[in-house]
């Protein structure tokens, strides 16, 4: 009985010391929070696992609507051009002004397909401490599902196909969509086009936050 009590005290004291040590380390500012300094591998693995499991637990019961609806896909093309290409690129884009400064790099959604439930949840709710905003604060579910529908079609599109569908997408006055349509189908696509570029589909992947 006495030995058990002593063990309990030792464990409790150890936990208290570790807690205070951790607080002191955090307060010291020794950890480099800069986006140009990569996480230690254990830190990255822990955060990535936390992110993936959190998203999966919240997205698994979502009911996916018909994502093959042409009008839904068309609307999503315009939304994607206006809201997403700076981080997630588009067919024919090699980079953007903001993307090189993000850590980890957001997935290139022109080259990999994301599970629809995961895509919807992440677009709607965003991811804490990352570059991924919660678009649900300014867009309804129907609009977000249209983006998800377009994401299922995007991998493998050629730059020409991408420009064509964006040009046909309905305008969104709140987003200044007409300007984005012209930009996505014009100078930016030509400027960022690698020689002989064509996007290829890649295995599904969960979007990674900039941590």
Dump pLDDT digits (tens) for 137-169: 999 999 999 999 999 999 989 999 999 999 999
* Residue of 109, 144, 151, 101 whose CA lies nearest to 125: 144
Q: CB of 52 within 8 A of CB of 206?
A: yes
Query: What's the pLDDT band for 182 if we cut at 50, 70, 90?
Result: very low
Query: What's the pLDDT band for 172 if we cut at 50, 70, 90?
Result: low
- Mean pLDDT within 24-37: 91
């Amino acid at each position: 009985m006495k030995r058990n009590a002593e063990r309990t005290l030792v464990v409790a004291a150890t936990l208290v010391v570790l807690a205070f040590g951790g607080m002191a380390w955090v307060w010291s500012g020794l950890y480099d929070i800069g986006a140009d300094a990569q996480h230690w591998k254990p830190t990255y693995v822990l955060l990535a696992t936390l992110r993936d499991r959190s998203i999966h637990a919240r997205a698994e019961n979502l009911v996916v609507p018909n994502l093959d609806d042409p009008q839904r896909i068309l609307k999503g093309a315009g939304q994607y051009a206006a809201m997403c290409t700076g981080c997630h690129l588009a067919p024919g884009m090699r980079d953007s002004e903001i993307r090189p400064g993000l850590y980890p790099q957001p997935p290139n959604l022109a080259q990999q397909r994301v599970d629809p439930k995961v895509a919807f949840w992440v677009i709607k709710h965003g991811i804490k401490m990352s570059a991924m905003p919660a678009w649900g604060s300014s867009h309804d579910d129907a609009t977000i599902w249209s983006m998800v529908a377009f994401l299922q079609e995007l991998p493998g599109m050629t730059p020409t196909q991408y420009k064509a569908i964006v040009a046909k997408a309905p305008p969104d006055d709140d987003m200044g969509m007409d300007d984005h349509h012209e930009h996505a189908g014009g100078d930016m696509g030509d400027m960022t086009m690698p020689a002989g570029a064509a996007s290829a589909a890649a295995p599904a992947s969960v979007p990674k936050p900039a941590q």
